[in-house]
Amino acid sequence: MIKTATKAPPDGAVSPDRQIADQTIRSTNPLRAGLAADRNPQACAMVIFGVSGDLTSRKLMPALYDLYVTVPLPPGFTIIGISRRDWSDEEFRSEMRKAVHEFATRPITDDTWDSFARGLFYVSGNFDDPGIYGKLRERLESVDSERGTNGNRLFYLATPPSFYEEISQGLGSAGLVRRQEIYSDPRANGWNRIVIEKPFGHDLESAQHLNMAIKQVFAEQQVYRIDHYLGKETVQNVLAFRFANILFEPVWNRHYVDQVQITVAESLGIENRATYYEEAGALRDMIQSHMLQLVSVVAMEPPAFFNGDALRDEKVKVLRSVVPLNGETIAHHVVRGQYAQGYVAGSEVPGYRDEDGVSPESKTETFVALKLEIDNWRWNGVPFYLRTGKRLPRRVTEIAIQFKSVPHLMFKLTEGQSLPPNVLTMRIQPDEGISLRVAAKVPGAGTKLQPVQMDFDYGASFGQAGPDAYVRLLLDAMLGDPTLFARDDEIDTAWSLMQPIMEAWSDSPWTQSLPMYEAGTWGPVEAELLMAGDRRTWRRP
Ligand SMILES: NC(=O)c1ccc[n+]([C@@H]2O[C@H](COP(=O)([O-])OP(=O)(O)OC[C@H]3O[C@@H](n4cnc5c(N)ncnc54)[C@H](OP(=O)(O)O)[C@@H]3O)[C@@H](O)[C@H]2O)c1
C-alpha cells in the first residue's frame, strides 16, 4: 500500500494523526477512571492573566497538565498566557515545562509534553494597556480556527486583586466576552466564563463594587469565584459523609451537639508574602473565606440536588442565620493575636514584626479565635468556635463536632475519673480522614470505661491521595459546573459578617494593645479565656 505524505499542520494546529495519538496516550492512562470518568469538557481556550506568577507555576499549570494526561482534555485544548515578561511562545513553553516538572504529581514524558505544549501560546503586555486585549483577540481568533476551540473561552485571573476589575472591563470593551444569561444557548458561539482568584474584595464595600463591575461584563452564571478549600477532597467528603449516610443526620443538631470547633492551624509564618499578609491578616485571609465555607458545609440543610444553585442556596442560608457580631459581642467573642519570637518544631523563629517586609509596628493579626452562633432551628444554642493562626505548634485543619454527654451514666466512675463525650473529627489536612471518639469498656473483671478512637483514613482506604483541589476546580469550570465556586450573595454575606469586626479593630483603642503569643504555642491566653468563659476548652489537635 502506498502511504501518502501528511501535510504538516500550521504551528499550533492539531493534525489528525496527532489527535489519534493523543487520544491513545490519554485513554490508556489508568488514573483517568479514578479522576473524572465521563466528565470530558469541550475544546476551549483558557486565557491565564498573570501566567508568570507563583500560582500559575505551582498550581495551575501542573493541574492543567494533570488534567490533560488523565481526563483527557480534548486535543484542541489551548492555553494563552499573559504577563509583562518578554517571552516568545517557545520561551513560555520552556518556562511552563520547568514549572510542571517541579510541581506536577507525575513525571513528564516527552510525548505528552510535546502534545500539551503545542497548545501553549503567549501574549506579552501590561493589563492597563488597552492594546493587549486587541492582541489577545487576534490569538483567540487564530486558535478558534486552527485548534477548533469554537469561541469557548475560560478567562482566569491569576493576578494581583487590584487588576480584577480592570481586566474584566478590558475584556468587555474589546468585545471578547459574550454575555450569557441563564437561557442563552452556548452552542451558538461557544461559552465564555471567568475564574477569579481569592481574595474577592478587601471588605464588604470593595467586594460589592467588584461584583458590580464584573457583572457589567459577565452574567453571574459566567462568574466562577474560586476558594480552593471547596475543591479539597476532604471538604467534599464532609458533604458525602453527612448526606450519603443515614446515621449522622438524626444527631446533627442542637439536641445532640454541644459545640463545634473548627481549627485551621499553620506552623509556617508568612514566608515571602509580607506585602499581601500585612494588608490581609488572618481574619480576611482565613476566616472570611475558607473557614466560613467550612461552617457552611457543616451546618447547611440537606440540598435537594448536588448542583450549583441547590448547594449554594443552602450554604448562603447558613451564613444569613449567623448572629451578627456587634461592639459588645466582638469584645467578648472575638480574640486576635500576633506571634512573637519562639520555637516551632525545635527551631527558633522570629516574631511577626521581625519578618522581612513587615512593619516593626504592625498591628496585623496572625491569629483569630471567635465564637459564632447560628440562629436557626437546627443550631440554636450550639456555639461554633473558629480558630486560625500562623506559627502554631503544628499544621492541621480539622472540624470537630463534640456531642453532649449521656443524660444518665449508669456506670460508676472511679474517684476523679470523667468520661469525655463523643467527638466526631473530620481532618482536612494532614492525615485526611474521620475519627469518632466513643467510650468502651476496658477488658477485665471490673467495669472501667475509657475513650477509644474509631478511625477512617483516606490514604489507607483508597490507596492514593485525591488530586489537588485545582485539578477538580479547573475541570468543573471547563464543564460549566459552579457548585464548588462561591456565588455573589455568599461573598457579600461572608463579608458582611466580618465587616463589624474589621471596623471595631480599626476604631477601637485596643488596637494599641494587640495580644501577642509565643510562636509555637496555641495562641494568646485571651483565646483560652474566651473558652473558659463558656466552661469549655480548645482541643489540642
Ligand atoms: N500563590 C498562591 O499560592 C495563591 C493561592 C491562593 C490565591 N492566590 C491568588 O492568586 C493571584 C495571583 O497570585 P500569585 O501568587 O501568582 O501572584 P504573583 O506571583 O505576584 O504573580 C502576579 C502575576 O501578575 C502579573 N502582573 C502583575 N502586574 C501586571 C501588569 N500590570 N500587567 C501584566 N501582568 C502583570 C505578573 O507578571 P509579571 O510581573 O511577569 O509581569 C505575574 O504573572 C492573587 O490574587 C493571589 O491572591 C495565590
Q: What is the pLDDT of residues 378-399, one digit of tens each?
A: 999 999 999 999 999 999 999 9
Q: How far is the CA of 197 from the centre of ligand 1 (A)?
A: 10
Which protein residues are within 6 Å of ligand 1, measured from CB? 50-55, 58, 83-85, 126-128, 158-161, 197-199
Question: Looking at 210, 225, 240, which one is the last position of a domain?
Answer: 225
Residue nearest to atom 6 of ligand 1 (CA): 198
Q: Residue 163's pLDDT band (boundaries 50, 70, 90)?
A: very high
The Å distance, Cα 485 to ligand 1 centre, comes to: 20
Point out the least confidently predicted range of 55-69, 303-317, 340-354, 508-522.
508-522
Number of domains in the chain: 2
Tell me the DSSP string of 14-54: PPHHHHHHHHHHHHT-THHHHHHTT--PPP-EEEEETTTSH
pLDDT of the residue at 34: 42
Q: Which residue has the cell 452552542?
A: 187
Nearest to 369 by CA among 196, 155, 208, 536: 536
373 in the same domain as 239 = yes
Which residue is catalytic, options 290, 332, 333, 408? Answer: 290
Asked if residue 284 and residue 203 are part of one domain, the reply reads no
Confidence of residue 12 (pLDDT cuts 50, 70, 90): low
In a domain, 411, yes or no: yes
CATH code, 161: 3.40.50.720
Task: Tell which one of 83, 87, 132, 229 to mutate to probe ligand 1, the residue whose CB is within 8 A of the most ligand atoms.
Answer: 83
The answer to the question of residue 507 being in a domain is: yes
Residue 194 inside a domain? The answer is yes
- Strand positions, DSSP E, 130-214: 153-157, 192-196
Q: Is the pLDDT of residue 44 over 80?
A: yes
346: domain CATH number is 3.30.360.10
Residue 328: is its pLDDT beyond 90?
no
Helix axes of 204-215 and 164-173: crossing angle, nearest 10 degrees: 10
Predicted local confidence at residue 507, as pLDDT? 76
- Ligand 1 centroid–CA 128 distance in Å is 15
151/257 same-domain check: no
Residue 426 Cα to ligand 1 middle (Å): 32
Quick one: 234 and 221 in the same domain?
Answer: no
Tell me: do 354 and 376 sit in the same domain: yes
Range of the structural domain that residue 50 is part of:
16-225
Residue nearest to atom 41 of ligand 1 (CA): 84
pTM for the full model?
Answer: 0.90
Q: How high is the pLDDT of residue 445?
A: 83
Confidence of residue 511 (pLDDT cuts 50, 70, 90): low
Residue 4 forms part of a structural domain: no
Nearest-CA neighbor of 265 among 428, 390, 93? 390
- For 31, 75, 133, 422, the CA distances from 109, given in Å and listed in that order, are 15, 17, 34, 50
Give residue 104's pLDDT: 87
| Element at 304 (helix H, strand E) | none
Out of 47, 55, 103, give the residue to mutate to test ligand 1, the one with the largest number of ligand atoms within 8 Å of its CB: 55
155 Cα–ligand 1 center, Å: 14
Q: Are residues 241 and 352 in the same domain?
A: yes
In this structure, the residue with its CA closest to atom 1 of ligand 1 is: 55
Looking at residue 341, its pLDDT comes to 97
Task: Name the residue with the closest Cα to ligand 1, atom 10.
Answer: 158
The answer to whether position 482 is within a domain reads: no
In three-state secondary structure terms, 115 is: helix
Same domain, 213 and 307: no
| Residue 290 among the catalytic residues | yes
CA-based max dimension of the chain: 94
Spatial contact of 79 and 117, defined as CB atoms under 8 Å apart: no
- In this structure, the answer to whether residues 208 and 300 fall within a common structural domain is no
Do 423 and 296 reside in the same domain of the chain? Answer: yes
User: 475 lies in a domain?
Assistant: no
Residue 2 inside a domain? The answer is no
Of the residues 123, 133, 159, 290, which should be mutated to test ligand 1's pocket, given the most ligand atoms within 8 Å of the CB? 159
Summarize pLDDT for 124-154 with one digit per residue, the tens: 999 999 999 999 999 999 999 999 999 999 9
For the chain, what is the mean pLDDT? 90
In percent, the amount of the chain with pLDDT more than 90 equals 75
Q: Of 200, 225, 250, which closes a domain?
A: 225
Of the two residues 352 and 188, the one the predictor is more confident about is 352
Q: Tell whether 155 and 221 lie within a shared domain.
A: yes
Instruction: Compute the distance from residue 163 Cα to the ligand 1 centre, in Å.
Output: 10
Rounded to whole angstroms, the Cα distance separating 480 from 473 reads: 10
- The reply to whether 59 falls in a domain is yes
Domain C-terminal end among 225, 240, 266: 225
**Quick one: 181 and 124 in the same domain?**
yes
Given the CA of residue 57, which atom of ligand 1 is nearest to it? 16
Same domain, 323 and 339: yes
**Do 468 and 62 form a contact (C-beta atoms < 8 A)?**
yes
pLDDT tens-digit series, residues 234-291: 888 999 999 999 999 999 999 999 999 999 999 999 988 898 999 999 999 999 999 9
Nearest by Cα to 515 from 504, 525, 529, 505? 525
- Rounded distance, CA 355 to CA 389, Å? 16
Question: Are β-strands 347-349 and 342-344 bridged in parallel, bridged antiparallel, or unpaired?
Answer: antiparallel
